A and B are shown apart, each in its own frame.
Chain A
Amino acid sequence: EADIYQTPRYLVIGTGKKITLECSQTMGHDKMYWYQQDPGMELHLIHYSYGVNSTEKGDLSSESTVSRIRTEHFPLTLESARPSHTSQYLCASSEGYGYTFGSGTRLTVV
């Protein structure tokens, strides 16, 4: 039973489109994160938030934005999708130390 939800689970979209990946958690965690993971590769931090109206950039943040208007919601937006954005996007939340991950969104840009 997942406490952190990501939608959509799979997305195929054309180049240049604007997309928003949704992430919601019901655990009341202040800390939330977005990571990108290619097959067989490590997770790369995109953005993170330590609370409402607080967002920080990670290593891969230049082509995306996030918002944190509510504690439970942390959407990720790509303004103009490119084939290089094809990847798995993982959202996570944390109360203290260890993370709970969502099921992920597998994005394909054609």
Chain B
Amino acid sequence: QKEVEQNSGPLSVPEGAIASLNCTYSDRVSQSFFWYRQYSGKSPELIMSIYSNGDKEDGRFTAQLNKASQYVSLLIRDSQPSDSATYLCAVNSAGNSGNTPLVFGKGTRLSVIA
């Protein structure tokens, strides 16, 4: 069974610091990797996607992928209290009809302290 593992946290960082969120996955043929942010009581919203090894930067967010280690991470620079949320890692693989549905981790709860 395909699994996506995340440390549930909470991860507490001071305002302005770098928050580092980690995720491992079990399916070696996984091809697409996503980070979603979910505020309490709200739906997940997509913040980053990454498909190839290396780093991908978008504003204060950087996604890092290492397929050999089956590891994906999200860095948030200059963390703000508004970044306080649960961050979900999601993975899918190639199937016979195209990409398979996303498998989500349990999420890491991030708390940015002002």
Question: Which residues of A are in contact with B by a Cβ distance under 8 Å?
Answer: 33, 35, 40-43, 45, 48, 50, 58, 90, 96-104
Whole-angstrom distance from the CB of B95 to the nearest CB of chain A?
10
A30 nearest CB neighbor, chain B only = B98
Whole-angstrom distance from the CB of B105 to the nearest CB of chain A?
6
Q: Is the CB of A90 within 8 A of B49?
A: no
B33-88 residues with Cβ-Cβ distance < 8 A to A are 34, 42-46, 49, 88
Q: Is the CB of B104 within 8 A of A43?
A: yes
Q: Is the CB of B43 within 8 A of A42?
A: no
Question: Which residues of B have CB within 8 Å of A48?
Answer: 101
Q: Is the CB of B43 within 8 A of A45?
A: no
Q: Which of B97, B98, B99, B104 has the most CB of A within 10 A?
A: B104
User: Is residue B22 contacting chain A, with contact meaning CB distance below 8 A?
Assistant: no
Whole-angstrom distance from the CB of A37 to the nearest CB of chain B?
9
Interface residues on B, range: 20 to 34
Interface majority SS (helix, strand, loop, mixed), chain A:
loop
Whole-angstrom distance from the CB of B52 to the nearest CB of chain A?
13
Q: Is the CB of B92 within 8 A of A97?
A: yes
Known: A97-B34, A97-B49. A90 touches B43 (CB 8 A): yes
Whole-angstrom distance from the CB of B39 to the nearest CB of chain A?
12
> 8 new A-B pairs (CB below 8 Å) besides A43-B104, A50-B97, A58-B101?
A35-B104, A40-B8, A40-B106, A40-B107, A42-B88, A45-B103, A96-B99, A99-B34
Q: Is the CB of A101 within 8 A of B44?
A: yes
Whole-angstrom distance from the CB of B22 to the nearest CB of chain A?
16
Q: Is the CB of B46 within 8 A of A42?
A: no
CA distance A97 to B49 in the complex (A): 9
Q: Is the CB of A42 within 8 A of B104?
A: yes
Question: Which residues of A have CB within 8 Å of B42?
Answer: 103
